[in-house]
């Protein structure tokens, strides 16, 4: 593993959103906006990626642009990280792989859009969840991806000891929408309170999920989001799409049905979460812990 940025107030950023989550050039724009948001908090962004078999904690701008346009990049999760290294592949790291590598590099804070969770059919589970259950890192996000079973995901997190802390919200966000009707474990209104909770929790050995809703000027109303999602899920089933192709298809269809508004929400919440993560990392660094 190459740790390109050592010490200080660092924030890990996943790269699967660049290689698989957003189309070009929005993927490159989003990554650069996240980097700038972290820097605006006086912290250091560290995009994590796999480059020719080498896990890199921190990539150059040229490497980032290469990733954004890379033909057939690998999606590197924790289960295939070793295999991808041995095969000298290049690709984006998921939340699970990013959290794992960030922890190995001594980084305490990671920012993303939404984590994976329990799938709606109840038969599948994102690798993000068990990784969060055994890795003490702060993960800043806007909840789990809305195409998942959010109540089941909320219950899984509780069962496996991962607290959900709402930043200026008492409700678990639904990625594109601020409202799901699901409660958080605690609500805080400033970064100092967040850091105090982390210092009390970190000995438990699990991650702490810090959630904030998407910026209000971009967030979709819950009723509209529910209707868009219902139509997308129905069309997906009718088309016969299954497995790993499901999530990209649904996200693309949601963008089409919303006239691009879900894409704008995605870009906005990624930037907002990176900024909050930077503030947390800076505050943690100032404690010397």
Determine the pLDDT at residue 231.
Answer: 95
Which tokens hold the place of 202? 């970190």
Q: Nearest to residue 135, comparing CAs of 207, 57, 227?
A: 207
* Alpha-carbon gap, residue 227 to 230, rounded angstroms: 5
Better pLDDT: 245 or 92? 92
* Alpha-carbon gap, residue 144 to 117, rounded angstroms: 6
- Tell me: the pLDDT tens digits for 211-225? 999 999 999 999 999
- Tell me: the pLDDT tens digits for 48-70? 999 999 999 999 999 999 999 99
Q: Is residue 179 pLDDT above 80, yes or no?
A: yes
Over residues 130-138, the mean pLDDT reads 98
Q: Nearest to residue 286, comparing CAs of 42, 91, 82?
A: 42
Over residues 249-264, the mean pLDDT reads 92
Q: Where are the domains of the chain?
A: 2-287
Q: How confident is the model at residue 146 (pLDDT cuts 50, 70, 90)?
A: confident
Q: Other C-beta atoms within 10 Å of 199: how many?
A: 12
Instruction: Just list the catalytic residues.
Output: 14, 145
- Tell me: the pLDDT tens digits for 13-47? 999 999 998 889 999 999 999 999 999 999 999 99
Long-range contacts (CB closer than 8 Å, 24 or more residues apart) made by 71-80 = 73/19, 73/20, 74/19, 74/50, 75/16, 75/19, 75/20, 75/244, 76/16, 76/50, 77/127, 78/127, 78/131, 79/127
Domain with residues 2-287, CATH architecture: 3-Layer(aba) Sandwich (3.40)
Q: In this prediction, what percent of the chain has a pLDDT beyond 90?
A: 88
Q: Dump the DSSP string for 112-126.
A: -S-B--B-TTSS-B-
- Tell me: the pLDDT tens digits for 155-174? 999 999 999 999 999 999 99
Determine the pLDDT at residue 121.
Answer: 75
Q: CB-based contacts of 267: which residues, under 8 Å, 6+ apart?
A: 22, 26, 29, 30, 33
* Alpha-carbon gap, residue 253 to 259, rounded angstroms: 10
Q: Is residue 289 pLDDT above 70, yes or no?
A: no
Q: Is residue 245 pLDDT above 90, yes or no?
A: no
Q: Nearest to residue 42, comparing CAs of 280, 272, 287?
A: 280
């Amino acid at each position: 593993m190459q740790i390109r940025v050592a010490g200080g107030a660092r924030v890990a950023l996943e790269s699967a959103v660049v290689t698989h989550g957003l189309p070009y050039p929005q993927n490159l724009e989003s990554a650069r906006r996240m980097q700038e948001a972290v820097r605006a908090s006086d912290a250091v962004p560290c995009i994590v990626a796999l480059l020719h078999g080498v896990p890199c904690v921190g990539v150059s701008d040229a490497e980032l642009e290469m990733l954004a346009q890379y033909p057939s990049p690998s999606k590197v999760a924790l289960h295939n990280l070793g295999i991808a290294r041995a095969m000298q592949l290049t690709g984006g790291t998921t939340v699970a792989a990013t959290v794992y590598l960030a922890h190995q590099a001594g980084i305490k804070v990671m920012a993303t859009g939404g984590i994976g969770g329990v799938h709606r059919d109840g038969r599948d589970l994102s690798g993000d969840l068990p990784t969060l259950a055994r890795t003490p890192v702060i993960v800043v996000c806007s909840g789990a991806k809305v195409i998942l079973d959010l109540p089941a995901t909320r219950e899984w997190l509780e069962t496996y000891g991962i607290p959900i802390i709402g930043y200026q919200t008492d409700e678990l966000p639904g990625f594109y929408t601020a409202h799901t009707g699901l409660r958080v474990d605690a609500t805080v209104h400033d970064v100092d309170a967040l850091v105090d909770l982390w210092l009390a929790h970190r000995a438990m050995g699990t991650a702490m999920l810090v959630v904030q809703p998407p910026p209000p000027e971009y967030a979709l109303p819950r009723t509209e989001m529910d209707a868009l999602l219902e139509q997308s899920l129905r069309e997906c089933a009718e088309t016969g799409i299954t497995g790993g192709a499901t999530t990209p298809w649904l996200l693309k269809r949601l963008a089409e049905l919303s006239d691009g508004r879900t894409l704008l929400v995605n870009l906005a919440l990624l930037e907002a979460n990176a900024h909050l993560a930077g503030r947390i990392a800076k505050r943690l660094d100032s404690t010397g812990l």
